[in-house]
Chain A
Amino acid sequence: MADKNLSGLAWFKANQSKYPNSNKISALASGFKTSVQAFEKALKAAGATIIVSSTKRNKSRAYIMRYAWDVANKKTAPDKVPKITGVDINWDHGDAAKSIKAAKEMIGSSGFNIAYKPSLTSRHIEGKAIDWTIKWNKELKIKDKKGKEVVIKSSPKSGQNKELHAVGKTYGVVKLASDPPHWSTDGR
């Protein structure tokens, strides 16, 4: 009888939705969630437009992506992939070529569509990061955490604005300058 837990595109299609990422602020870790909610409230009160694209990412999903990538790129032998609770997947097809082909299917265009080595750890996985697009017109009059009004007239009129980064920091929401939508507890 076929092993329904064998890795591959069929496993991906049947199981990947069990490990969803979130784009809800409510999914963030408690302390950071409070900080983001306060900053979001100030942004909205100032008239900024906000679109959240990613908050907490699923740890099990990251594990599946990483080991699919590792097996596909011959970085980890299929029989050496560590098991984690809650993910029933058998990476070892009993044949190296078949195992690698199955892993490649999972990272390919019909699967996760990933090319670069996924990380097992990140601020997103910890629930301590948010990716969001922030925009406004003209100037932004926003209150920092202490209630002091800051008038931002400089450009860009987006989440890339350095004056906004300073305001975000007062709320404990810190910008990673090199990654346009990314803010976290410590800018990483």
Chain B
Amino acid sequence: MSQGVLSPSGPAASGARACPRLARLTLHEFRNYPALTLDLPQEAPIVVLTGANGAGKTNLLEAISLLSPGRGLRQARLPELLRTGGEGPWRVAARLVSDAGERELGTGLQAESERRQVRIDRRNAQPAELAAVVAVLWLTPQMDRLFLESAGGRRRFLDRLAFLLDPEHARRVAGYERVLRERGRLLADAPASPADSAWLAALESQAAELGVAIAAGRLTAVEQLNTALAQAAEPDFPAALLAVEGTVEGWLASMPALAAEARLAEALALARPKDAATGGSLVGPHRSDLVVSDRRRAVPAARCSTGEQKALLLAIVLAEARLVAGLRGLPPLLLLDEVSAHLDQGRRAALCQRLLAHGGQVWLTGTEPALFDALKGRACALAIANGRARLEEWAV
């Protein structure tokens, strides 16, 4: 039946509050796991996964990330998650315990379709409803190049941060993207006729309303994050400073939202001929960028070293975790994949201290247990190999 079952008598962190944490995780035909059940000790808020490359550490984190709306930390297509040679469909289930009691969450691919199925407390639910039960926040090695690559990745990162602070943000972004696709199709399909012009105006007015709300949501998130980052300035971590650069965000600094909506609708209408030629859309919050810098040295993140960039990202993610904990009263589940890569020993130790103070459940991965020495005796360590998990004896 189940493999890798752990005894519930794990190492204890004294005085731990009952923040939302996974007490049980079950995987079925997921990535490299045919079947796995993990029973996690209640007392350990930090779970360390160690194992060789390709052992399946990140797959476990990915499974947990699918307990939130969206496509998880790898942004994979849902059918790709099925184990090679696996008898589908794949399933991920979890029991979440907190002060509020126990919740059962489950997700998987619907039989005979490519749609995601979500179950909350054994009833069918919409993926968006997961956000009300638990917040999940992650950092992966793919995000190491966030500051060097295109603005799209940084926008998605910022939108995810904004969504965790305001769940409506995701609905607005999805609606905005859909309206822009509709407008693009209309511009591509037909040369403008009077009827099409009214249709375009209807779409642009919708795009303007949603677009300005998105820009405002991002600005609010950045402001809240900057406050949280300033409060937590510690010598071992760089102090990140965030800003959003974008036309609509700029308008919002100098005019009320309604005026910005009118201006965006007008700009979209003016851009029709060019947008028809390029197949895109010249103006709007889908063109904005998240700009991060090291506050103390006033250096843009892209010009910091690889390790410093990682530390900046970590500082942002940890600040977000504190914000979500403050706003919703419950700290999010933190999934930190290969997080100690690029960090020096001092920063690793500082990170461990911060994670112990987080209060919510943290999942860490690394190839060597030695990377997490500072957590010895205070975390539950699992050795991952061949689709199985084994509780490590970790001396205090």
A binds B: no
Residues of B within 8 A of A (CB): none
Chain A positions near chain B (C-beta within 8 angstroms): none
